[in-house]
Amino acid sequence: MLDVIKEYIAKEELIVPGDHILVGVSGGPDSVALLTLLQQLSGPLEFDLTACHVDHGLRSEAREEAEFVERYAKSLDVPCVTKHFDAAAYAAKQKRSVEEASRDFRYGFYDETAGVIGANKVALAHHKDDLCETVLFRMSRGTGLAGMEGIPVKRPLGPYGFVDVIRPLLCVTKEEILAYLESAGIAYCIDASNASTIYARNKIRAEVMPALKEVNEKAVDHIAELASTAGEYWRLAERFADELSRDALQEIPKEEGYGVQGICLLLAPMKEADPCVLRHLVYRVLTEVAGCKRDWEDKHVNQVIALTEKETGKRVDLPYQVVALKRRDAIWVMKREQYEAWSCKRQETRVE
């Protein structure tokens, strides 16, 4: 296992000498394996390591798991940072699901902690099965090439890109991780909630994945290969979208837009563009205006493109309070508050 991970790290250029890596450790088998492997590689690859555990306060075992992570990190001579917070209260205040709010808090804490200790990378324990589950989950909800890529092996964390998230275990399966831990006699915690099929991802893990493996024992590998290919096509589309954006995108005209903030998609270049590239560009505009890449589906992109054939004044209301409005020669994409400010100002001008 160690050699496989070392080769994968080198192939994907995940770690270089002098890095300081913060490892997210829940106490479960995947993160315990990741911490162990990185500790063993920290000498040969010349990087520093710090463990980080977030206690969400959702289960009675949470405190014990935090103590387990602290003890295990200490046994490896790895510093450990622990954060206790009330995930349920935080989610209620945010008016979001506990799962989603917890994830955002956790990633925010990783970013904050990395800044405090001087870490430039955060290592997370997602593996090949996680990748496949993510692809299947997104396919079931509706997705494009971006969603088909699944979980990127490396990406920026936070808005400024000072810290990268890396995932050194994406090259191995859950079965291989458990076999490694068993052979090494390494203990870990079990989160009983992962066995519940109430959550969609757990249902895919418990029911869909085993069924696919019965159809083909290499199903996980094949889905992972598909995700990798989708990612390559996605990056190709990104380059073409960059070219299209130079002709098709501009800010909303100040005079006509009364100073509102948003992005203007010009109709003429849109109608001449390759459909695939256009869809890619529209997706990019939506996520930029929303400030979030999650929960955007093909249907949302299609709704915006369909406006090209609608009369002036038609609009679509989209997730994250985003509005797309058809104008005479363009489609404006903006936040709802900006649309309402524009609509109000326009009405006042007409009255005058």
Residue 234 parent element (H or E): helix 219-248
Rounded mean pLDDT of the chain?
Answer: 91
End position of a domain, from candidates 228, 263, 282? 228
Residues 40, 180, single domain; the answer is yes
| pTM assigned to the model | 0.82
Q: Please tell me the least confidently modeled range out of 39-53, 62-76, 84-98.
A: 84-98
Residues 264, 212, single domain; the answer is no
The whole-number pLDDT of residue 345 equals: 83
Q: 104-156: per-residue pLDDT in tens?
A: 889 989 999 999 999 999 999 999 999 999 999 988 887 877 788 889 999 99
Residues 128, 196, single domain; the answer is yes
Residues 182, 312, single domain; the answer is no
Task: Say how many residues make up the chain.
Answer: 352
DSSP string, 48-65: EEEEEEEE-S-STTHHHH
Q: Which residue range forms the structural domain that includes residue 346?
A: 252-351
Residues 339, 191, single domain; the answer is no
Higher-confidence position of 297 and 68: 68
The whole-number pLDDT of residue 176 equals: 96
Contact between residue 120 and residue 163 where contact means Cβ atoms under 8 Å apart: yes
**Mean pLDDT, residues 261-289 taken together:** 94
Q: Is the pLDDT of residue 194 over 80?
A: no
* Residue 52: inside a domain: yes
* Residue 303: inside a domain: yes
- CA dist 182 to 31, 149, 188, 266, Å? 14, 31, 10, 59
Residues 187, 327, single domain; the answer is no
Torsion of CA 39, 44, 47, 50, to 10 degrees: 10
Residue 350 parent element (H or E): helix 336-351
The whole-number pLDDT of residue 82 equals: 95
Nearest to 157 by CA among 39, 31, 21: 21
- Residue appearing with tokens 């994250």: 320
* Residue 246: inside a domain: no
190: which DSSP letter?
-
**Mean pLDDT, residues 155-172 taken together:** 90
Q: Please tell me the least confidently modeled range out of 22-26, 35-39, 84-88.
A: 84-88
d(CA 65, CA 173): 23
The whole-number pLDDT of residue 350 equals: 63
End position of a domain, from candidates 196, 228, 260? 228
* Residue 235: inside a domain: no
Residues 224, 256, single domain; the answer is no
d(CA 209, CA 247): 44
Chain CA centroid to CA 155, Å: 9
Determine how many CB atoms are found less than 10 A away from the CB of residue 165. Answer: 23
Q: How many distinct structural domains can be found in the chain?
A: 2
CATH number of 185's domain: 3.40.50.620
Q: Assign 249 to helix, strand or coil.
A: strand
The angle, 0 to 180 degrees and rounded to 10, between the axes of the packed helices 62-75 and 29-45 is 20
* Residue 238: inside a domain: no
CATH number of 261's domain: 3.30.465.60
Residues 206, 257, single domain; the answer is no
Q: Is the pLDDT of residue 336 over 60?
A: yes
* Residue 240: inside a domain: no
Residues 25, 167, single domain; the answer is yes
Residues 175, 322, single domain; the answer is no
DSSP string, 16-55: -TT-EEEEE--SSHHHHHHHHHHHHHHHHHT-EEEEEEEE
Residues 221, 299, single domain; the answer is no
* Residue 244: inside a domain: no
Chain CA centroid to CA 107, Å: 10
* Residue 237: inside a domain: no
Q: Is the pLDDT of residue 163 over 60?
A: yes
Q: Is the pLDDT of residue 197 over 70?
A: no
Q: Please tell me the least confidently modeled range out of 95-99, 123-127, 213-217, 230-234.
A: 95-99
The whole-number pLDDT of residue 351 equals: 54
End position of a domain, from candidates 170, 196, 228? 228
Residues 288, 323, single domain; the answer is yes
Q: Is the pLDDT of residue 352 over 60?
A: no
Give the pLDDT band (50/70/90) at residue 51.
Answer: very high
Give percent of the chain with pLDDT exceeding 70.
97
**CA distance from start to end of the chain:** 74
Beta bridge partners of 48: 20
